[in-house]
Structure formats: C-alpha cells, structure tokens
C-alpha cells in the first residue's frame, strides 16, 4: 500500500514536470521568435542587411524544436530543452572570477604635453622650439618626419578629401579656437555661500540641459595635470595645480557620422563635439566664477589636464585598449570636457568598471580594424611602471595625416558604440553582469556585424 502511494506521487511529480516543460517550451518558442524578430527590425533600421538576414533566419529556426516539443507534447524532448535552458542560464549567472588588476589605477608620473602628438604637430619647422625639442628627443624626429611628409589633417591632397566636409570641420575648430581666450577669467570677489550638496543637485542636471551626456565630479590628483604646456603661446610653461576639484562630462558623437569613419564625416563630428564640449565647459566655468569661485575650462587645444583620466576618476568610464575613455553606454563614441575649480564639490569613491576592461582584454576588435595597426593586440604591459595598454601614437597620427581625418575606425567598430536601444542595452547588461557572456559578446558581434566591417557610406547630405 505504501509502495503504491509513493509511485502515485512520483507519477504526479513527473506529470507536473512534463507539463511544466512543455509549457516552458511554448514560452521559449514565443520568446525566441519575438527577440530575434525585434533584432531583425533593429538591424534593418541600422541598415545592417547581413545582420538582419541572420537574425531573421535564427528567428525562424531557433523556436522550431521548442514549438514542436510543445505542440506534439514530446515530453522527453521538452524535458531536455527545459534542462538545457536552466543549465545554460545558471552558467551565465555564475560569478566566474575575473582579474581585478587588468590595468593599474594610478600613473606614477605626470605627462609632459610637449610629448603629445598634437603638440609635436604644431612645432614650426626650424623654430627654436622645434630645434630644442628634437635636440632633447632625437629619436622622435624620424617618427615625426613621417607624418610631416603626408598631406595633413583637412588637406585637399588627403585620401578622404571632401571640400565641404573639411570646410565644416575647419569652421568648428576655428570656433573652438575663439573660445581659448575665455577658458579662464575674473572671479567675482563676492563669493556666494552654497553647499556642496546643493551645487551637485543643480549642476548635474544643468550640465545635461546644456548638452552633456553624463557628468560627475572628482578630486584632482597630481597625475591628472600635465607637467608642462605643449601648445599655444604658453608652450614650455610649467603647469601649476591651482584647483582641487574637477567636473567631468561627456558629449555624444552621432553614430551615423562615426560609422562612416575614416571618411570625412568623422572629422566633422569630432570637430563639432569638441566645439559642443568646449561651449558647455566655458559656460560651467563662467557660472562658477560668477559665484565667486575660481574655475577653468579645459577644451580642445587648451588643456592643462588629461581629460580621459579625470573623466575615468569621476566614474564616467574606463581607459580601454584603444587608449580612449570607454563609457558604459556609448563606449568610446564620446568627447570629454573638464572644468577644474576650487569649489569643494561633493565627490564619491570611484567604482572601477572592471567588466569593461575584461571585455577589452578579450575583444580586440579595435586592434584588428586599425588601418595603421597602432592598437596593441597584446595584454596590458608595464609602461613607465604602470600596467596598461598603449597605442603607437606616431603611426596613428601619421595615418591621420595621410587620410586627412582623425580616422575613428576604432570608435566606429567597438561593440560598445552601438546605438542606445533595448537590444544593445541588453547586450551591455549581459557584458556587465556575466563573465561568460563577455566571452561570447564579441564573437556574436562579429557574427552579425563582421570581424572587420566595412565603413558605412557617408550620410547622403554630405555626399
């Protein structure tokens, strides 16, 4: 009697499990159909025909075994598929340990801005600064002569010359140049008493209203500052650190303009966003000075700080394989602005976004597509006592001068640079929370977009 009762319970349990499995298969078939049809739509509006076709094919084939198991009540098949989904799900949520020391946090030394490629590009051949610099750094002259032999940024002899686009980029850079005289200014002697909390509550939304995408604050460290000025009339001047706090923000580069890189749209967009970030920085700096606090805007061509490092320490992203700030939603498809000030901003300890560095460690797509092979395929190395990635800035800039644009292939192809929508945000969510998903995210991106995708066509109005 007891034996019969136990068997009856087991039969009920098995029947319940089979019913649950078949119902689960029905739900999965619908879910897969919806997910991949939505993906097809997203790829279609992105004009990614290959990706849309692959997604449509998957939406047709993947739900079949789940639908068959439900429709024909194939209990064993349903149970196998049910178990497969559960086990796969557990693998994706299992917290596999990843290294938290992929890159070091703190540079040991300040950077001399005179060593930066943009500064070396501005050296007038034969000038005293030119002679002095290459006397001190003779090993760099051979490297720099290479880019000086090329057509140059915005040149009509460059590979991607476009008369109207280059003129538009020039207009933006010209306007940024006019901002340089107002990066600093007189401070109102009547200082307003404002709490750090109230300033933060007001300043962040206001900065976004002005055009910033993300904004946050940090305390300034010595390594945030250049040691010497390398551009403009202040060339060679020692940079003193007058401020203790920084406001860092990003502005978004339009995806359609970036995706055509290294064609002319990329330099137009870069110039425009340097202009927009400069305008926002100028407004914030003047706002603080008007309230009685010293403040300086750091804009294109007139920096005293290394903006990506400041933005990283403000919690806006990480410095990735390509040497640029990688943000969680737009990846490197941003430009960075910084305002330094003596106002005691309310800051918080930065939470390292190690999942982004872990993704960069394994993705390597930017290095694969780089036309000048300036991005390393290797793991971070010890450079000047700091474990990090470093690009070959000389070969990178030489290609810029050949192309006539600031290239941007790394920005265009980074999986984090995809549009801000439900599909790509779900991928970013998976990358953030699942170490296993990080390993398959880049291969999936390669499947749909290609390992070395071709640049998109220029927007019609530019052509």
The pair of three-digit structure tokens given for residue 97, joined into one six-digit string: 């340990």
Residue 302 gets which letter from DSSP? B
Task: Please spell the DSSP secondary structure of 69-138, one letter per residue.
Answer: HHHTT-HHHHHHHHHHHHHHHHHHHS-----S-SS-S--SSPBPGGGSHHHHHHPPTTSHHHHHHHHH-H
Beta bridge partners of 246: 218, 340
The pair of three-digit structure tokens given for residue 20, joined into one six-digit string: 């649950």
Same domain, 384 and 244: yes
CA-to-CA distance for 77 and 70, rounded, in angstroms?
A: 9
Same domain, 89 and 159: no
Residue 430: other Cβ atoms inside 10 A? 16
Same domain, 63 and 130: no
Q: Is residue 190 part of a domain?
A: yes
Structural domain containing residue 192 = 113-449
- Phi and psi at 426, nearest 5°, equal -65, -40
**Owner of token pair 């780089």:** 370
Q: How many structural domains is the chain composed of? A: 2
Q: Is residue 249 part of a domain?
A: yes
| Low-confidence winner among 62-66, 78-82, 401-405 (lowest mean pLDDT) | 78-82
Q: Is residue 99 part of a domain?
A: no
3-state secondary structure of 334: strand
Q: Is residue 101 part of a domain?
A: no
Same domain, 43 and 189: no
CA-to-CA distance for 173 and 165, rounded, in angstroms?
A: 12
Same domain, 42 and 73: yes
- With a pLDDT cut of 70, the percent of the chain lying above it is 98
Same domain, 184 and 259: yes
79 closest CA partner among 123, 18, 127? 18
- With a pLDDT cut of 90, the percent of the chain lying above it is 91
- List for the chain the helix, strand, coil content (%; round to 5): 55, 10, 35
* Cα end-to-end distance, the chain, whole Å: 85
Residue 238 gets which letter from DSSP? B
Q: Is residue 341 part of a domain?
A: yes
427 closest CA partner among 43, 67, 33, 128? 43
Beta strand ranges found along 317-380 (DSSP E): 318-319, 325-326, 334-341
The pair of three-digit structure tokens given for residue 221, joined into one six-digit string: 């460290």
Same domain, 47 and 177: no
pLDDT of the residue at 2: 46
For residue 269, name the pLDDT band (cuts at 50, 70, 90): very high
Same domain, 271 and 377: yes
Q: What is the mean pLDDT of the chain?
A: 95
Of the candidates 93, 128, 156, which is a domain's last residue? Answer: 93
Same domain, 121 and 80: no
Same domain, 287 and 370: yes
For residue 8, name the pLDDT band (cuts at 50, 70, 90): low
pLDDT in tens, 287-326: 999 999 999 999 999 999 999 999 999 999 999 999 999 9
pLDDT of the residue at 1: 44
Q: What angle do CA 171, 252, 278 make, to 5 degrees?
A: 45
pLDDT in tens, 116-127: 999 999 999 999
Q: Is residue 98 part of a domain?
A: no
pLDDT of the residue at 11: 66
CA-to-CA distance for 117 and 66, rounded, in angstroms?
A: 57
Q: Is residue 425 part of a domain?
A: yes
Of the candidates 93, 122, 145, which is a domain's last residue? Answer: 93
CA-to-CA distance for 413 and 365, rounded, in angstroms?
A: 7
3-state secondary structure of 346: coil
Same domain, 130 and 246: yes
Q: Is residue 100 part of a domain?
A: no
Q: Evaluate whether 217 touches 247 at the Cβ level (below 8 Å).
A: yes
pLDDT in tens, 223-249: 999 999 999 999 999 999 899 999 999
Q: Evaluate whether 257 touches 451 at the Cβ level (below 8 Å).
A: no
Same domain, 82 and 141: no
Residue 370 gets which letter from DSSP? -
CA-to-CA distance for 163 and 244, rounded, in angstroms?
A: 44
Q: Evaluate whether 332 touches 410 at the Cβ level (below 8 Å).
A: yes
Strands 318-319 and 381-383, sheet pairing? unpaired
Residue 5: which residues within 8 A CB-CB, separation 6 or more? Answer: none
pLDDT in tens, 137-156: 999 999 999 999 999 999 99
Q: Evaluate whether 377 touches 365 at the Cβ level (below 8 Å).
A: no
Residues in the chain: 463
The pair of three-digit structure tokens given for residue 133, joined into one six-digit string: 């610099």
The pair of three-digit structure tokens given for residue 60, joined into one six-digit string: 């047709």
């Amino acid at each position: 009697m007891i034996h019969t009762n136990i068997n009856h319970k087991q039969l009920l349990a098995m029947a319940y499990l089979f019913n649950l499995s078949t119902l689960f298969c029905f739900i999965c078939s619908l879910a897969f159909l919806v997910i991949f049809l939505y993906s097809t739509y997203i790829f279609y509006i992105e004009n990614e025909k290959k990706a849309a076709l692959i997604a449509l094919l998957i939406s047709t084939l993947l739900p079949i075994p789940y639908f068959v198991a439900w429709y024909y009540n194939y209990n064993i098949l349903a149970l196998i598929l049910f178990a497969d989904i559960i086990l796969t799900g557990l693998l994706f949520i299992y917290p596999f340990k990843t290294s938290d020391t992929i890159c070091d946090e703190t540079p040991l030394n300040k950077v001399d801005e005179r060593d930066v490629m943009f500064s070396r590009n501005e050296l007038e051949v034969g000038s005293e600064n030119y002679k002095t610099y290459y006397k001190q750094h003779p090993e760099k002259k051979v490297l720099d002569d290479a880019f000086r032999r090329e057509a140059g940024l915005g040149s009509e002899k460059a590979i991607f010359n476009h008369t109207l686009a280059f003129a538009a980029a020039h207009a933006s850079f010209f306007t940024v140049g006019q901002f340089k005289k107002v990066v600093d200014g007189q401070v109102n002697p009547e200082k307003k008493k404002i709490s750090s909390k109230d300033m933060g509550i007001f300043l962040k939304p206001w900065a976004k209203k002005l055009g910033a995408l993300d904004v946050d604050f940090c305390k300034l460290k010595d390594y945030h500052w250049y040691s010497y000025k390398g551009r403009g009339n202040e060339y060679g001047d020692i940079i003193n650190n007058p401020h203790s706090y920084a406001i860092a923000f990003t502005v978004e580069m339009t995806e359609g303009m970036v995706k055509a890189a290294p064609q002319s749209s990329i330099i137009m967009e870069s110039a425009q966003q340097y202009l927009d970030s400069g305008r926002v920085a100028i407004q914030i700096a003047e706002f603080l000075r008007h309230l009685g606090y010293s403040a300086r805007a750091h804009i294109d061509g007139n920096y005293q700080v290394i903006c990506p490092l400041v933005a990283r320490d403000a919690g806006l992203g990480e410095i990735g394989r390509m040497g640029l700030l990688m943000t969680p939603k737009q990846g490197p498809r941003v430009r960075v602005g910084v305002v330094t000030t003596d106002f005691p901003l309310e800051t918080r300890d930065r939470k390292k976004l190690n999942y982004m560095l872990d993704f960069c460690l394994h993705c390597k797509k930017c290095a694969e597509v780089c036309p000048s092979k300036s991005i390393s395929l290797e793991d971070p190395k010890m450079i000047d006592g700091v474990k990090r990635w470093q690009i070959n800035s000389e070969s990178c800039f030489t290609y810029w001068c050949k192309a006539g644009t600031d290239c941007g292939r790394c920005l265009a192809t980074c999986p984090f640079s995809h549009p801000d929508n439900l599909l790509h945000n779900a991928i970013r969510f998976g990358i953030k929370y699942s170490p296993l998903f990080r390993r398959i995210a880049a291969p999936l991106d390669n499947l749909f977009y290609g390992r070395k995708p071709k640049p998109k066509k220029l927007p019609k109005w530019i052509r």
